Amino acid sequence: MKIINPNVSKVAVSKVLKKETKVGNKVEKAQKIEPKYQQVSSSNLAGIKYHRERRELDITFKQGLVYRYFDVSPTLYKGLMAAGSKGKYHARYIKNKSFKKIN
């Protein structure tokens, strides 16, 4: 195992890299859960994928373009999913956030 910072112990590096947690005498490894892509009913949006830990929202548009929006709160994501018009909600609350075209 490589130690990046000589001031950090091997145990600390191991815990960071493996994301282990101790429960009693057991060591459990945290599993990364990939967020689900959800198709949505919309004239403009085809699907949505929300990365809660990173606060990133991927939106796939009907034309096939995918954009990743940054710093999207769970409340904003829930509002989008509950909106009667997801396209209008996107235009009003999400479109002006920092984003990156990912395809």
Average of pLDDT values for 54-69? 97
Q: What value does the CA radius of gyration of the chain take, rounded to a whole number of Å?
A: 19
Q: How confident is the model at residue 16 (pLDDT cuts 50, 70, 90)?
A: very low
Both 95 and 54 in a single domain? yes
Nearest to 44 by CA among 28, 65, 24, 25: 65
Both 26 and 43 in a single domain? no
Both 45 and 10 in a single domain? no
Domain span holding position 16? 1-31
pTM of this prediction exceeds 0.75: no
What pLDDT was estimated at residue 38? 94
Q: How confident is the model at residue 102 (pLDDT cuts 50, 70, 90)?
A: very high
d(CA 66, CA 57): 10
